[in-house]
Structure 1
Amino acid sequence: MYNKTLHLALAITLVSGVSPGIYAADANGASSDPSSTETAHFDSKGKAPSPYTIELQKELRQTLPFADKRDFEEARKGFIAAPSYDKIMAEAGNVAWNMGSYNFLQEGKDYDSINPSLQRQAILNMAFGLYEVVPERIYQVRGFDLANITFIKGDTGWIVFDTLMSKETARAALDFINEKIGKRPVVAVVISHSHVDHFGGIRGVVDEADVRSGKVPLIAPTGFMEHAVAENVHAGTAMNRRAFLQYGVMLPHSPYGHVDMAIGKNASIGATGLIEPNRYITQDFETLTIDGVVMEFQNTPGTEAPSEMNTWFPQFKAFWAAENITGTIHNIYTLRGALVRDPLVWSKNINNALYRYGKQADVMLASHSWPRWGNERIQEVMRAQRDAYANLNNAVLHAANQGVTINEIHNVYTLPESLKNNWATHSYHGSEEHNSRAVINRYLGYWDANPATLMPLSPKDSAPLYVEMMGGADKIMAKGKTLFDQGKYREAYEILNKLVYAEPQNSQATDLLADVYEQVGYQKESAGVRNSFLAAAYELRHGLPKGVPPKTVGPDMIRAMSTELWLEYLGISLDGSKVAGERFIFNLKTPDNGEQFVVELSNSTLTSIKGQQAENADLTITLDRSALEGVMARKTGFDQLVKDGKARFEGNLKPFKVLMAAMTPFTPDFELLPGTRQ
């Protein structure tokens, strides 16, 4: 009646701004060797920075505006206390958070294995404790997770802005502020946007019953629930695997490995939750007063998240910029994969905020990074980021309209010098290279209009041809070594990558390519780009990550996932070649919520339509949506539900069994780099 393959097909990875499901049980702690020093590489195959890398870092230290210490002054301002601990344990028994694993950044050393600009950002992100932003009214707990958690003191209790990623870190933050400022109840929660590092800790600060009853307002921007669940379901497993590179999941926390995630140190590894908001902000600008605090919300859809909002506090002249204005230029294209964002829309929303709030604000704070104080300083940062996103959009399209293609723009586009000298416009999360390519991809797509690139050979098929025409492996290795010795790393990986694809078991080639990638990683300012190159080097040297299974989706996410989205995912999971020639129609009914669907298999494709029932269906399945959630979470099967009287099948079961047997179990353990599956 039910095939177990369906359970495997539902290994859905719900990643948002970051990918919480792919971290090992104690990744924060396992990679925090206190003996890490400038001279001790964590990898026996690892190499020290080359003379070319050292020279580049030296030049950057001399040319970047390190004399501008304002960010450090602002990051320290308002400090009240740090906790006595640097680890937060998860309920499951693992270390959910370990700030101490990055203590090497506090030793006052300049590491040649870290781009000096990125090292500066990584040190700024070492803030750990409670900070006062507006005297006796607005506080932040920083360094307890990837994001900040903000507490507004109302007349009777706390209004919480963003709840971190994990229940345990959010609860620790609430306990810490109650200990230092005085215990107060949580009287409202505001979620700025639909990424899990901002809502996942919700159950650490509020009870669901209080939200459902309306006792505690839970406020979010329109579209929040849809995007919180759906943004990455369709390609979730692929994103999960790619996140191993962008977030450097397997890299130890070390000067040679993981040092930062640009908007914070790392992502916590605790219990993530999701509670349906009971109040949505639907207008462009909307004002609420809660517990004596007046808040005007600015909806900014299509910026850092599809559903996001800023907040203005007129009583305090404080502007909360969510994740739209932080200490970095963000990703327009996220390396793990996501829909390309619109930098022009982003710029316009910052401009709207600048003219509506920025000209009168005394302080600007956000869900990442540190606040900025003083109206002149606030306007400076807002204008700089406004211009950086607009310049990215406009200058790239300016070049594209003169014939520059997606395969050239990253070598052409550069920020204006005036923005290069402003720390607020450095790309620690994004990078000018991959963001510029994203703009062209958004408007013109991946094709550069050269027919030879429209339907290219797969790398594994083209690489042998290149290797043959270049004279074989020995010549490529010799040239690759020469280029490496000359510090010409991009030229080196251009040819060595071909050789590794052609001869994936050539250990000398993979080791040399890893050495090249490592030096590139050391040099990069963007944390995601650094992690991607260093993680690729790690995989080339040691093979695919092992022992890091994907974390199953929690019950909150399953409940929030629509049945329609689940059926769409089944369509993606279907191996159409296994049902070629089959045709099958069934009705699905969930009486407890009144939903009904027609699901049809034809032409090796599974489709569904909501609100319809077929007159001559092969099979009708009836079960409550609450019972279906057990199947979606892989905790039960249809056969067990039928046995328990919770599901009813009427009609022909045979084609349904064929359909379930054709479901593919997705797991994020596929090879991204040739030869790494050992």
Structure 2
Amino acid sequence: EMHFFFPGYRALCMAENATHNLHNLLTLRGALVRDPHVWSRYLTEAIDVFSGRADVVFASHHWPTWGHDEIVSFLSTQRDLYAYLHDQTLRMLNTGLTGTEIAEIIQLPPALENAWNARGYYGSVSHNVKAVYQRYMGWFDGNPARLWPHPPAEQAKRYVDAMGGIDRVVTLARTAFDGGDYRWAATLLDHAIFTDADHAAARELYAQTLTQLGYGSENGTWRNFFLSGATELQSGSFGTPQSTSAPTIVAQLTPEQLLDAFAITVDGPKAWDLDLVTDLTFTDLGRSFRVTLRNGVLIYLEREPGSDAALHLSLTKARMIALAAGDTSSPGLQIDGDAGVLESLFSVLDPGDPDFEIVLP
């Protein structure tokens, strides 16, 4: 996310670092936590370096801001927003509060709370505070009772049993729903569904609960998650709506990135007993790699082919991309040595499941 100044147009591009809402410090789809301290520092730098020379500020999303005073006000509000979330989260975690607790009690200053460009239409104060906590503290909040909990399905069975069975849990959830406490209803029904995913009353009430949570969300990504969960309960998983493996993107990957992609699909337990050594040469790039699979770990090192490898593959990068997709038979792949090594490698690859469920166990 780089800032660009175009002096001929007196125009400053802020990428996605200053938009007309609160952005994500951690995307709900999953990512590394972004650093709000650095974020705010570079907004300060942009104000200092460019605001006196810019007539317009624009970003990768949303509308432009015109005029010196408006530019400074807009960028300053954005800067203060991320700095405040960062600094206040750290202040409160240093008093012993957890991320969830901080997210419940933190209050933005009125000037930020009432600024339209700081509203949580995309990121939210709640999950951004938890992201700051995660960045510094990790998943463990220091309470030893939470150090080694049961996984969700096992927790659910125990909670449901302790509350008197699944029908009793659904009754309690109905009371919470009728009282407008959708958050508690969702928590109860989460346990119910993880105990019996086919319980009709639990599924229906859970879908209604998530729908109400979605309708009540100012934040677009929260709304999407709530309504996606409701859809899954009512009509089943609808899969991943987009693919990150578009051919034009994959074609730009380096050999190292392609091999990394291979490595994270290795099913470790299936590969525990394999000891494979392969030399891989990209004929169009003039680069070779020694690839080993041992202890369930695929490791690569750029080096010239050697006679000690059981298999030597020669192919173009485009053919490697096809190979990664499981195509081992089309032309353009030269195999020298034990072809069984390649067969053994592909037998332990797990490509993942883009249609996994988010509400059901």
Q: Are 1:665 and 2:358 an aligned pair?
A: no
User: C-alpha displacement at 1:669, in angstroms?
Assistant: 1.2
User: C-alpha displacement at 1:489, in angstroms?
Assistant: 1.3
Match of 1:561 among 245, 248, 253: 253
Aligned to 2:327: 637
Matched letter for residue 119 of structure 2: H
Q: In the TM superposition, what are the counterparts of 1:60-459 in structure 2 within 5 Å?
A: 308-459=1-152
Q: Are 1:585 and 2:271 an aligned pair?
A: no
Query: Closer, same or farther in 2 for the Cα pair 1:507/1:614, shift >3 Å?
Result: farther
Higher relative contact order (CA 8 A, sep 6+): 1
Query: Closer, same or farther in 2 for the Cα pair 1:552/1:499, shift >3 Å?
Result: closer
Query: Closer, same or farther in 2 for the Cα pair 1:554/1:499, shift >3 Å?
Result: closer
- Residues in 2 aligned to 1:629 and 1:505: alpha-carbon distance in whole angstroms: 41
- TM-score by length of structure 2 reads 0.94
Aligned to 1:650: 336
- Residues in 2 aligned to 1:309 and 1:627: alpha-carbon distance in whole angstroms: 34
Deviations 1:603-651 (A, max 9, x none): 122211223544511111122334334434x4x833322xxxx332222
Q: Are 1:595 and 2:287 an aligned pair?
A: yes
Aligned to 1:172: none
Matched letter for residue 336 of structure 2: E
Structure with the higher helix share, 1 or 2: 2
- Residues in 2 aligned to 1:483 and 1:550: alpha-carbon distance in whole angstroms: 36
- SS of match in other structure, 1:510: helix
- Residues in 2 aligned to 1:398 and 1:409: alpha-carbon distance in whole angstroms: 10
- SS of match in other structure, 2:177: helix
Aligned to 1:616: 308
> 1:406 touches 1:447 (CA, 8 Å); kept in 2?
no
User: C-alpha displacement at 1:595, in angstroms?
Assistant: 1.0
Match of 2:238 among 545, 555, 580: 545
> 2:305 touches 2:312 (CA, 8 Å); kept in 1?
no
Deviations 1:150-185 (A, max 9, x none): xxxxxxxxxxxxxxxxxxxxxxxxxxxxxxxxxxxx
Matched letter for residue 389 of structure 1: Y
> 2:160 touches 2:191 (CA, 8 Å); kept in 1?
yes
- Residues in 2 aligned to 1:627 and 1:474: alpha-carbon distance in whole angstroms: 56
Q: Are 1:523 and 2:209 an aligned pair?
A: no
- Residues in 2 aligned to 1:347 and 1:400: alpha-carbon distance in whole angstroms: 20
Query: Closer, same or farther in 2 for the Cα pair 1:400/1:419, shift >3 Å?
Result: same
User: C-alpha displacement at 1:456, in angstroms?
Assistant: 1.8
- Residues in 2 aligned to 1:590 and 1:316: alpha-carbon distance in whole angstroms: 45
- Residues in 2 aligned to 1:373 and 1:655: alpha-carbon distance in whole angstroms: 62
Match of 1:570 among 252, 259, 262: 262
> 1:344 touches 1:393 (CA, 8 Å); kept in 2?
yes
Matched letter for residue 556 of structure 1: T
Aligned to 1:470: 163
Once the two structures are overlaid, the 10-residue window that deviates more, 621-630 or 481-490, is 621-630
User: C-alpha displacement at 1:535, in angstroms?
Assistant: 1.4
- Residues in 1 aligned to 2:242 and 2:82: alpha-carbon distance in whole angstroms: 34
User: C-alpha displacement at 1:370, in angstroms?
Assistant: 0.9
Deviations 1:308-364 (A, max 9, x none): 222223333322222211111110000011111111111111110001111342222
Matched letter for residue 493 of structure 1: A
- Residues in 2 aligned to 1:551 and 1:420: alpha-carbon distance in whole angstroms: 36
> 2:267 touches 2:350 (CA, 8 Å); kept in 1?
yes
Matched letter for residue 291 of structure 2: V
- Residues in 1 aligned to 2:147 and 2:304: alpha-carbon distance in whole angstroms: 40
Query: Closer, same or farther in 2 for the Cα pair 1:564/1:525, shift >3 Å?
Result: same
- Residues in 2 aligned to 1:503 and 1:586: alpha-carbon distance in whole angstroms: 47
- Residues in 1 aligned to 2:121 and 2:302: alpha-carbon distance in whole angstroms: 43
Q: Unmatched 5+ residue regions in structure 1?
A: 1-307
- SS of match in other structure, 2:330: helix
Q: Alignment RMSD, CA only?
A: 1.9
- Residues in 1 aligned to 2:355 and 2:247: alpha-carbon distance in whole angstroms: 24
> 1:631 touches 1:638 (CA, 8 Å); kept in 2?
yes
- Residues in 1 aligned to 2:62 and 2:242: alpha-carbon distance in whole angstroms: 29
- SS of match in other structure, 1:403: coil
> 2:232 touches 2:357 (CA, 8 Å); kept in 1?
no
- Residues in 2 aligned to 1:592 and 1:543: alpha-carbon distance in whole angstroms: 45
- Residues in 2 aligned to 1:552 and 1:346: alpha-carbon distance in whole angstroms: 26
> 1:511 touches 1:540 (CA, 8 Å); kept in 2?
yes
Deviations 1:229-250 (A, max 9, x none): xxxxxxxxxxxxxxxxxxxxxx
